Amino acid sequence: MTAQTLKSRIADIIIWILLLALTLSCLVPLLNLVAISFSDNAAASANLVSIFPVNPTLSSYDKLLSDSQFWRSFMISVERVGLGLLVNMTLMILTAYPLSKSPRQFRGQKVYMNIVIFAMLFSGGLIPTFMVVKELHLLDSIWSLILPGAVPIGNVILLMNAFRGVPKSLEEAATIDGASQWTILMRIFLPVVLPTLATVMLFTIVGHWNDYFGALVYINKTSNYPLQTYIQQLSVEVQNITDPEKLMELAKISDRTLNAAKIVVSTLPLLMIYPFMQKYFVSGIVVGSVKE
C-alpha cells in the first residue's frame, strides 16, 4: 500500500513538472517580449533581457506614442473590427436561421444549404477572388477587407446547429400567439443561443483583428494598412535579406524595444477581452464539435 502511494507521489511530481514546462513554454516567450519592450535598447540588442526588464524604461512607449502611422493603423483595425462585426453577425444570423429549419418548414432549405456547402467546399482561389475585388473597385478601401468574407460559412454552420437545438415547443407557442418569423428569431431564438452567439462573435473579433493578409493583397497604400499588416511589414525587411551576416547586422541595429512595444500594444485589446471569452469559446468548441 505504501509503495503504491510513493509511486503515486512520484507520478504526481512528474505530472506537475511536465505541466509546468508546457505552461511556461507558452508564458515565457510572451513575458520576454513585454520585458524587452520595457528595457533599454542596448540591453535588448545584446540579448540580455529574460522575463524581467533590464534598465527599465518607458522610452520605447514614449517613442510609440508619437508614431503616427502606428496609431493610424490601430484605428483602421478598430474600424475594421467594428464594421466587420456588424456585417458578419447580421449575415450570419440571417443566413443560419432559415437554414436551421427543416425542409418541410422552409421549402427551399435544401437548395440554399447546397449552395452554402458548395461555396464552403469550392472556391475560385486567391487570384480570381482578387480580380473580382479589383473589378468592383474595392481595392484600397476598407470594404475589401470585409465584404469578401462577409458570410463566414463555418460560423454559419455552428450557429445553425445551435438554432436547431432550440426546443420546438417554444416556436410553436409563439406561432400560436401570431408572432412572425422575424419576431420569433429576435425574441426567442437569439436569446436562447446567446452562448453560441458570443462564441462566434469573439471568433469574428479575433479574426478581423488578427488578419494581416487581406490588406497585403487588397490594400496598396501602406498608410492604409491595418495594425497586423503594419506589424507584419516590420519583419518583412529582415525576411527578404538572404545573406545571414547582413541579417544579423540588421537585427542588431533595428529598434527591438520599439518593435516589442508595438507588438505589446497591438495585443492588448485581445488580452482585454480574452478572459471574458474563455468560458464561451470552451463551451462553444465542445458544443460545436462533440455533439451533433
Partner 1 sequence: MKNKKDQAAFHFMMLPGMIFLIIFSFIPMFGIVMAFQNYIPAKGISGSHWVGLDNFRFMLQIPDSKQIFANTIVIAVWKIIAGTLVSIIFALLLNEVRVRFAKRFMQTIVYLPNFLSWAILATVVMNIFSYEGPINAFLGWFGIDPILFMASNKWFRPMLILTDVWKGFGYGSIIYLASLTSIDPGQYEAASIDGANRWKQLWYITLPGMLPTIILVTTLNLPNVLNAGFDQIFNLYNPLVYQTADIIDTYVYRVGLVERQYSLGTAVGLLRSVVGIVLILSANKLAQKLTDYRIF
d(CA 213, CA 263): 17
Q: Which is nearer to partner 1, 75 or 251 (CB)?
A: 251
107: helix, strand or coil: coil
d(CA 139, CA 219): 6
Least separation in angstroms between residue 126's CB and partner 1 is: 6
Q: Which is nearer to partner 1, 10 or 65 (CB)?
A: 10
Which of these, 249, 224, 229, 254, lies nearest to 60 by C-alpha position? 254
Total residues contacting partner 1 (rule CB under 8 A)?
Answer: 102
Least separation in angstroms between residue 26's CB and partner 1 is: 5
Least separation in angstroms between residue 68's CB and partner 1 is: 20
Q: Which is nearer to partner 1, 81 or 260 (CB)?
A: 260
| Apex 273 CA angle, 269 and 278, nearest 5 | 140
Restricted to residues 202-261, the positions that interact with partner 1 (CB under 8 A) are 206, 210-213, 217, 228-229, 231-232, 234-235, 238-242, 244, 247-248, 251, 259-260
d(CA 38, CA 35): 5
One of 57, 72, 181, 201 touching partner 1 (CB under 8 A) = 181
Phi, psi for 55 (deg, rounded to 5) = 50, 65
Mark 116-155 with x for binding to partner 1 (rule: CB under 8 A) and - for no binding.
xx-xxxxxxxxxxxxxxx--x----------xxxxx----
d(CA 218, CA 224): 10
> Of the listed pieces 68-76, 162-170, 188-196, 270-278, which binds partner 1 according to CB under 8 A?
270-278
97 binds partner 1 (CB under 8 A): yes
- Are 61 and 37 a contacting pair, CB within 8 Å? yes
Restricted to residues 58-87, the positions that interact with partner 1 (CB under 8 A) are none
One of 8, 69, 220, 223 touching partner 1 (CB under 8 A) = 8
In our burial notation (b when 16+ CB lie closer than 10 A, e otherwise), range 188-213 reads bbeebbeebbbbbbbbbbbbbbebbe
> Of the listed pieces 52-60, 61-69, 193-201, 281-289, which binds partner 1 according to CB under 8 A?
281-289
